[in-house]
Amino acid sequence: MRAALFQPADRPGYSQLRVAPTEIKPAIFGHAEFTAFIATATKLFAQWKDANTPYLRGFAKDGHPKALIETIAEALLAAFEHAPLLDAYDVYQHLMDYWGETVQDDCYLIAADGWWRPPSPAHHRRQGQQDQDTARLHRWQEEVRRRTDPARTCHRPLLRQGTGCDSGA
């Protein structure tokens, strides 16, 4: 890829661009080496996903979120250990960030109450507040359903855009 992007400059040890600055990104994305890299990373991710989906789908009430993340994170680290041009710990950190920001809370809710049981209010409020709480509860339930629907779930933060989902989107 280096030869496609750079050419020798007038001074020894220096290089200059072979392509216009606006053509750098298309030149990289269209290069066979980059395409092969993306294919390798996507294959590694798909293998990891296939191996770990049963753990995620099998997580239920009384499950242990810490054990779940430890299992899938260590498997991700092992899957990307020998990946070219990728630091397995960077990929691992993407998962851990996503876990901390989004998935962890959901797993603790599932472990406590199961998949679809709404949270129980700690105390009763006046009727107007209860109506607002009910509306909030319905929005929360819909958000949980949306986030956990396997047909819609795609964990893009694990890989850069365009390299993640099966759909290619």
pLDDT tens, residue order, the chain (169 aa): 778 878 888 899 898 888 888 888 888 888 888 888 889 999 999 999 999 999 999 999 999 999 999 999 999 999 999 888 889 999 999 999 999 988 898 899 889 888 875 544 444 444 455 566 667 666 766 766 666 655 554 444 444 444 444 444 4
Domain housing 89: 37-158
Q: Are 76 and 53 in contact (CB under 8 A)?
A: no
Residue 6 lies in a domain: no
Residue 2 lies in a domain: no
Residue 152 lies in a domain: yes
Residue 23 lies in a domain: no
Query: How many folded domains does the chain comprise?
Result: 1
Residue 15 lies in a domain: no
Burial class (CB in 10 A: 0-12, 13-18, 19+), 68: buried
